[in-house]
Amino acid sequence: MKKALSIVLSLMLLLVVVPVGTISANAAEDDVIEIRTIAELYNINNNMSGNYKLMNDIDMTDDVAVGGDWDFMGNGWEPIGSNGVYGKTAFTGSFDGDGHKIIGMRIEVKTKPSGTGTVYLGLFANNAGTIKNLGIDSTSKLNNGNYIGGICAYNSGDISSCYNKADVSSSIFSGGICGYSSGNITNCYNEATVLSSEYSGGICGYSYSGDFNNCYNTGNISSSNYDTIYSGGICGKTENGNINNCYNIGDVYSFLAKYNSAFSYPYAGGICGNNNSSINNCYNKGCIIAESTVSCSNSVPNSSLVVYSFAYCGGICGASSKDISNCYNMGELLSKAISYADNTYRDYTNHHYQSMAGAGAHSIIYVGGVCGNQIDGTISDCYNTKDISTFVESNSSHYDKKYISKSEYDPDYCYYYSENKTNGTTSTKTNCGGITGASNEVNISGCYNLGMATYGINGAGNGNITNCYYLSTAGNSNTGAKALTSTQLQLEMCMSEFDFENTWVIYKQTEYKYPQLRNNIQEIEKHLLSIDVTLPDKTSYIIGEEFDPSGMVVTGHYDNDTTQGITNYELSGFTGALGKNIITVTVGEKSAVFYVTVHDEGEWTTVKQPTCTEKGEKKLYCTYCGDLIKTEEIPAKGHTEVVDKGREATCTESGLTDGSHCSVCDTILTEQEIISAKGHIPYQNWETIKNPTCISHGEKVRHCSV
């Protein structure tokens, strides 16, 4: 299913999905200060109004590791503008990342310098200028500050075409791009986990008067801890701005478990937790959860105890006081509130009939497919497709004490008393609707709902509902809304109040069969123009074999200039008969053909005889058409070994060792080695063969003993 807000938005978001950075510096080339190293990056502190351009990725991993050259007090990178105390001196210049990224940026505040107050963490502490075309990669991490964002902690300038993939965690304001913003953020996205104790957003934790355009979030967003918390796929809480063409597919979770506290207010929304900005052309596909548990006990004399557990949850907003238009939700929704009150105060001194101070526990949830609680503004041309889950529970108790006279006329007022723990006041309220959980004098128009809810459109309040529809099995009826069956909700004729010329469209050739918003399309209808076929691995067969489509790829070409692999095609034409078989691939009304050949195998013909050391080759030809069917190797025969007997060496003649050779090709396999002659070994005694005389020599000899 194609995930796009609209044809226009899809094209705009391409700027974000691909590596960012195609915008050149605004100033003249000789005014640009080029940055290539971490030292040059840090040197921005000395000229916070300069015009900078990043020339390459900067890997900080080793430099900001503990003990590294740029490790600030063991805490890692010191944000630009920190001034050594994690402050927020504003950057007022221009920084063009040129599509490059920061790698391994570690910021973990374990040791705070003297003079540190509020802690601002990010690549920049504070941006009041322009930052664009920059990324923070997933090996980076930022935590333990008050304001935290991957690009900057605090923003009052412009941020565009930037992304964050580093996990972010703070005590108050957390955002993938910035923690707090009163500026504009455009074409940015976050893919990381964002956590805070109070304000969490995929793009920004808290926004005051700024705009968000063409942004999205895929990371998980969560807030917990404070009595009031805000979590949103784009922003945790907004004031006086606009959110246009944004979406969220990450899970958003606001969870509060408060003990010895009288109330809790978690807000969770796919786009914004608590919204005071106009929202247009946005959608959510992530799971949204708002969960509140309040438990409190009290022993203060004569003091009653009342606790409240609220939960605000919506596919687009948990609560909103501004217009929401052209939006939809396809994410699961859960709102849960639990309250416990236990008043343990006892009074043992007053000898009169007396009841102890009371206790009350109240659990209230607001949950809607689009907005949990629409306080003001309008909701128009929106829809919800997912079921809504709810849970509420309240328990309270306190002590009663009643004195009973021992004697009706006892002048000493001597009393017995009994003490009982009894239930206090409890209430639960579920405000649940397919579009809004509750609305207060709000106009809800041109909307429909498919998800299970208590009410089909609006759960509670006096909202004015017009031209709305809901699935007849999805919830109770609302005045101004019409129940339809699933089949009817797929037909224009059954929704006569919808503007199908300008606002809505139903595509029959898509998986989603219900109305879609023309300016916020989730799936575009397309028509098949032609198909291409990549041939299967096997195109030659022997008679009797079955057709094998393995390796075949069918690709469709559509009228929206897209291509797509197709698996639901039909095959025909393979008969197994000798000769060419024409194979037809059919998809709807489109087809493509190719052929395979069926052969009748004859006998193998040896075209090269193998030798002792070389392989031979044989070929198989079809007796029907004479075509070559197969070629196979014939293994080499190997040598036929014959032993060449050796001989022993003598005193005067050399010998030979045993050897061998191939009797077929005469190749020597084991070469015979020469054994040297042994040489004579003479007897020790000489033998006289002629005795000497007075006038002539004698003669003696000595023979070899071998």
Report whether 514 contacts 531 (CB < 8 A). Answer: no
Question: Locate tokens 């698996």: which residue?
Answer: 567
Task: Name which of 148, 329, 131, 365 is nearest 236 in CA terms.
Answer: 148
pLDDT at 20: 34
pLDDT at 677: 86
Instruction: State how far the Cα of 140 lies from the Cα of 105, in Å rounded to an integer.
Output: 4
Structure tokens at 489: 């909700």
Report whether 197 contacts 24 (CB < 8 A). Answer: no
Structure tokens at 209: 């008067």
Report whether 522 contacts 512 (CB < 8 A). Answer: yes
Size (the chain), residues: 706
Instruction: State how far the Cα of 3 lies from the Cα of 286, in Å rounded to an integer.
Output: 13
Task: Name which of 628, 637, 638 is nearest 607 in CA terms.
Answer: 628
pLDDT at 407: 47
* Angle at alpha carbon of residue 82, lines to 80 and 88, rounded to 5°: 100
pLDDT at 83: 96
DSSP readout, 418-457?
EEEEEE-EEEEEEEEESSEEEESS-EEES-EE-S--SBSS
Structure tokens at 604: 């193998």
Instruction: State how far the Cα of 254 lies from the Cα of 230, in Å rounded to an integer.
Output: 7
Widest pairwise Cα distance in the chain: 184
Instruction: State how far the Cα of 307 lies from the Cα of 396, in Å rounded to an integer.
Output: 9
pLDDT at 21: 34
Q: Nearest 10 degrees: CA dihedral of 348, 351, 353, 356? A: -20
Instruction: State how far the Cα of 315 lies from the Cα of 359, in Å rounded to an integer.
Output: 35
**How many alpha carbons fall within 13 Å on the CB side of residue 306?**
4
Instruction: State how far the Cα of 693 lies from the Cα of 203, in Å rounded to an integer.
Output: 132
pLDDT at 322: 96
**Pairing label, strands 540-542, 425-433:** unpaired
Task: Name which of 288, 208, 279 is nearest 249 in CA terms.
Answer: 288
Q: Calculate the CA 645 to chain-centre distance.
A: 77
Report whether 53 contacts 35 (CB < 8 A). Answer: yes
Report whether 700 contacts 689 (CB < 8 A). Answer: yes
Q: Which residues pair with 141 in a beta bridge?
A: 106, 167
pLDDT at 27: 38
Structure tokens at 235: 């922003």
Phi, psi for 618 (deg, rounded to 5): -135, 155
Structure tokens at 76: 């890692």
Q: Which residues pair with 107 in a beta bridge?
A: 76, 142
What pLDDT digit, counting tens, does each position of 270-312 carry?
999 999 999 999 999 999 999 999 988 876 666 778 899 999 9
Low-confidence spans in the chain with pLDDT less than 70: 1-30, 299-302, 345-357, 399-422
Q: Calculate the CA 49 to chain-centre distance.
A: 36
Instruction: State how far the Cα of 173 lies from the Cα of 171, in Å rounded to an integer.
Output: 7
DSSP 32: P
Neighbouring CB atoms inside 10 A of 465's CB total: 23
pLDDT at 32: 96
Instruction: State how far the Cα of 214 lies from the Cα of 234, in Å rounded to an integer.
Output: 11
